[in-house]
């Protein structure tokens, strides 16, 4: 990195942006990324130290801050709603709290030892010093190279700007391909079908929603078919042809030489995401092969003075059934980003880094697929081998790794119960089917579970499991819970309790 004289942080970078009243002796906390994790870190740091004592600067590459990406599929589905409806807080909110936010400032290079960074604003490179740094740059869509695919027909779905672009263009299309059958891909299928578009789903595995129980994934296939989604499973996208205004995509099946071509007008890449940390130097201790930053429970990275949170980090995670062993958990979810950001900001403000920690989370995920609700939490053994430690659908995991998952470790003894029930009390006309998969190790320690319902019911029930798993609960703990009984909301013996009861019987055998 060039060693040009370092400009004073407020004079050049923050031109035109309100500055705080920080004194010359104050320290500089610079936060990279202005959304979920970054803004949580900024607010937390400011709560801990006042503006005259600690200058907090958020550098954001894009033009948006503080928006809920999780609402994007639903916003896309509703022509009455604008993408900007997803914005939560404006710049003024942060300025009033003494937090400076600089939009359009893309960080290109960070020197962790010299404690300075290089960023680009309006085509100009600027070097900045920092005392402490929080990296909260999230993840970027996994690049997908499809020879022959014109850029104007290729969409990603990660940022608010992606939503604006797709929403604006969608009126011109009738037939759209979604590539990737993870949670985001399926939410996109649902949204695009509700706009009455013809939708094709291309997924490399034989079933969508990897990481969920097999029967649940089959149920997702039935639901997609029922709602008119054209499925291309076991298919890999190899190239595209573009003639006139006609787009053709070439798919390759599992058998060698099995090819097919399907027509569509646009393609949305939902194949996965990769931590956005290319501005940090390679370092086997501080940045893994996929670009993710390993952090401890205080969200400190291996570089002194640098904390990190959100979709760009992996956390050390104890393996419940294998005492003494740890694995790395990548949990690219909004709650994880916000909670991690708070911890990172709090510790970075003080500077020692280990006074507040983020508990390890079981990883909770839910989604709506047309009428179907599916949810999972913790770990599920699949066919006698350990499910990926990463709670995100495997298509995302595969995206992170950029290649098929390595064989997971063999699972220590685990027992799984599977029960079917109803979402409401006996005789209620609106009751839907609810299926539960619940798993515990041989000593009765809960490991994880999944739920699926044909109407409302599965998603919020998973919270019971999330609470128990986080508290390292046992099957007996679940059985003793006083879960609500009222016919419009649930049966007297909730399917979760039935699954626990079945598991207890299995444990006694
Ligand atoms: C369609 C969709 C649906 C989702 N649904 C759910 C859900 O239902 N539940 C759930 O828990 N999670 C969901 N998520 C995931 C959730 O949105 C993310 O986990 C969360 O936003 C991560 O927050 P973050 O702050 O780490 O990253 P981001 O929110 O991506 O923020 C990172 C910011 O850093 C900026 N940045 C990147 N590189 C640089 C750089 N070099 N210099 C400066 N700035 C940079 C980016 O522009 C971005 O604004 C969904 C995500 C998507 C895309």
Q: Is 142 in the pocket of ligand 1 (CB under 6 A)?
A: no
Residue nearest to atom 13 of ligand 1 (CA): 70
Q: What is the pLDDT of residue 24?
A: 53
**Same domain for 129 and 179?**
no
Cβ 462 vs Cβ 377: under 8 Å? yes
Asked whether residue 281 is assigned to any structural domain, the reply reads yes
Instruction: State the Cα–Cα distance between residues 187 and 486, nearest whole angstrom.
Output: 31
**In a domain? residue 355:** no
| Ligand 1 atom nearest to CA at 137 | 34
> Rounded to the nearest whole angstrom, what is the distance from the C-alpha of residue 442 to the centroid of ligand 1?
38
Is the domain of 226 the same as that of 285? no
- The predicted pLDDT at position 328 comes to 72
Say yes or no: 386 and 503 in one domain. Answer: yes
Q: Is 273 in the pocket of ligand 1 (CB under 6 A)?
A: no
Residue 432 and residue 393 share a domain: yes
Report CA(312)–ligand 1 centroid distance (Å): 9
Token readout for 68 is 């809920």
Predicted local confidence at residue 353, as pLDDT: 54
Residue with the smallest CA separation from ligand 1 atom 5 is: 70
pLDDT number for residue 65:
97
Residue 415 lies in a domain: yes
**Residue 2 within a domain:** no
How many angstroms separate the alpha carbon of residue 139 from the centre of ligand 1?
6
Domain-ending residue, one of 211, 238, 271: 271
Which among 350, 384, 405 is the end of a domain?
A: 350
Q: Spell out the residues 6+ positions from residue 321 whose beta carbon is closer than 8 angstroms to its own.
A: 411, 412, 413, 414, 441, 445, 447
Same domain, 197 and 67: no
Is the beta carbon of 13 within 6 A of some atom in ligand 1?
no
101 and 221 fall within a common domain? no
Tokens representing residue 165 in the block: 């672009």
Domain end marker among 236, 271, 306: 271
**Closest approach atom of ligand 1 to CA 158:** 53
Residue 484 lies in a domain: yes
Range of the domain at 290: 9-139+275-350
User: CATH no. for residue 279?
Assistant: 3.50.50.60
Q: In 230-268, which positions are buried (b, 16+ CB within 10 angstroms) versus exposed (e)?
A: bbbbbbebeebeeeeeebebbbbeeeeeeeeebebbbbb
Contact between residue 279 and residue 116 where contact means Cβ atoms under 8 Å apart: no
Domain count, the chain: 3
pLDDT at 428: 92
**Residue 308 · residue 344 · CB < 8 Å:** yes
Atom nearest to 37 CA in ligand 1: 25
Protein residue with least CA distance to atom 50, ligand 1? 70
Q: 3 in a domain, yes or no?
A: no
Question: Do 152 and 297 have their domain in common?
Answer: no
Q: Is the CB of 366 under 6 A from ligand 1?
A: no
For ligand 1, whether the C-beta of 34 sits within 6 Å is yes
Q: Is residue 17 part of a domain?
A: yes
Q: Per DSSP, what are the bridge partners of residue 155?
A: 268
Chunked mean pLDDT (size 10), the chain, 509 residues: 36 37 71 98 95 94 97 97 97 96 98 96 95 97 90 96 97 95 97 98 94 92 98 93 86 77 94 95 91 92 96 76 62 94 95 75 91 91 44 32 38 80 92 95 89 96 94 94 94 96 92
User: Which of ligand 1's atoms lies nearest the C-alpha of 40?
Assistant: 25
- How far apart are the C-alpha atoms of 343 and 356, rounded to whole Å? 6
376 and 481 housed in the same domain = yes
């Amino acid at each position: 990195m060039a060693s040009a004289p370092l400009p004073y942080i407020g004079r050049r970078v923050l031109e035109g942006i309100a500055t705080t009243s920080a004194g010359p002796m104050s320290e500089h906390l610079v936060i990279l990324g202005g959304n979920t994790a970054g803004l949580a870190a900024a607010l937390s740091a400011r709560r801990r130290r006042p503006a005259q004592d600690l200058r907090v600067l958020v550098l954001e590459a894009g033009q948006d801050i503080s928006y809920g990406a999780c609402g994007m599929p639903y916003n896309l589905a509703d022509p009455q709603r604008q993408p900007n409806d997803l914005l939560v807080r404006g710049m003024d909110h942060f300025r009033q709290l003494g937090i400076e936010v600089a939009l359009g400032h893309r960080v290109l290079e960070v020197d962790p030892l010299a404690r300075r960074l290089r960023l680009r604003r309006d085509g100009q490179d600027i070097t900045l010093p920092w005392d402490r740094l929080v990296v909260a740059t999230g993840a970027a869509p996994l690049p997908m190279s499809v020879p022959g695919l014109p850029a104007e027909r290729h969409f990603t779905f990660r940022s608010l700007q992606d939503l604006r672009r797709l929403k604006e263009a969608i009126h011109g299309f009738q037939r759209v391909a979604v590539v990737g059958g993870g949670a985001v891909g399926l939410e996109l299928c649902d949204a695009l079908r509700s706009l009455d578009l013809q939708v094709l789903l291309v997924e490399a595995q034989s079933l969508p929603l990897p990481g969920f129980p097999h029967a649940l994934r089959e149920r997702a296939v039935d639901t997609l078919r029922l709602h008119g989604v054209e499925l291309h499973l076991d298919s890999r996208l190899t190239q595209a042809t573009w003639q006139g205004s006609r787009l053709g995509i070439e798919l390759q099946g599992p058998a060698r030489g099995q090819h097919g071509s399907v027509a569509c007008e646009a393609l949305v890449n939902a194949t996965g995401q990769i931590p956005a940390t290319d501005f940090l130097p390679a370092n086997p201790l501080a940045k893994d092969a996929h670009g993710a930053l390993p952090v401890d429970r205080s969200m400190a990275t291996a570089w002194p003075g640098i904390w990190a949170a959100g979709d760009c980090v992996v956390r050390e995670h104890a393996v419940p059934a294998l005492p003494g062993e740890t694995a790395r958990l990548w949990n690219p979810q909004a709650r994880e980003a916000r909670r991690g950001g708070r911890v990172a900001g709090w510790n970075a403000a003080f500077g020692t880094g280990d006074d507040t920690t983020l508990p390890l989370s079981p990883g909770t995920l839910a989604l709506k697929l047309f009428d179907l609700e599916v949810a999972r939490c913790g770990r599920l053994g699949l066919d006698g081998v350990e499910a990926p430690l990463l709670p995100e659908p495997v298509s995302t995991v595969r995206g992170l790794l950029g290649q098929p998952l390595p064989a997971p470790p063999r699972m220590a003894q685990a027992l799984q119960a599977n029960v079917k029930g109803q979402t409401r009390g006996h005789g209620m006309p609106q009751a839907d089917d609810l299926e539960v998969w619940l798993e515990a190790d041989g000593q009765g320690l809960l490991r994880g579970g999944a739920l699926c319902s044909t109407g409302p019911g599965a998603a919020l029930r998973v919270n019971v499991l999330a609470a128990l798993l986080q508290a390292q609960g046992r099957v007996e703990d679940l059985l003793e819970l006083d879960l609500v009984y009222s016919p419009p909301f649930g049966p007297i013996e909730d399917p979760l309790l039935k699954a626990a009861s079945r598991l207890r019987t299995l444990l006694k055998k």
